[in-house]
Amino acid sequence: MNVPNPKITTDELPASRKIYVAGEIHAGIRVPMREISTHPTAGETPLPVYDSSGPYTDSNVLTFIKQGLPALRADWVKARGGCRGI
């Protein structure tokens, strides 16, 4: 069976940029957003939307697909008592 290698986007997406918004309850949690540019003639500010693409589309993050993602929430999970019931 010939299975193609999927192309993984590891760069910025066109007409937008990745931003992070600090949480209101937990300021240390940054919510990933994508600020989408509007056409210059629209005269409108960029539109922020939730971005679930992960760090792969953040040009400020160097990712290694085979290593997986860093455990950013490990300390938070431990502080809550670990992964009970999983």
Encode pLDDT of 19-31 as tens digits: 999 988 888 888 9
**Burial status of residue 34 (CB atoms within 10 A of its CB: 0-12, 13-18, 19 or more):** buried
Mean pLDDT, all residues of the chain: 84
Predicted TM-score (pTM) of the model is 0.66
pLDDT confidence of residue 47: 94
Encode pLDDT of 56-73 as tens digits: 888 888 878 788 888 877
Residue linked to tokens 């809550």: 80
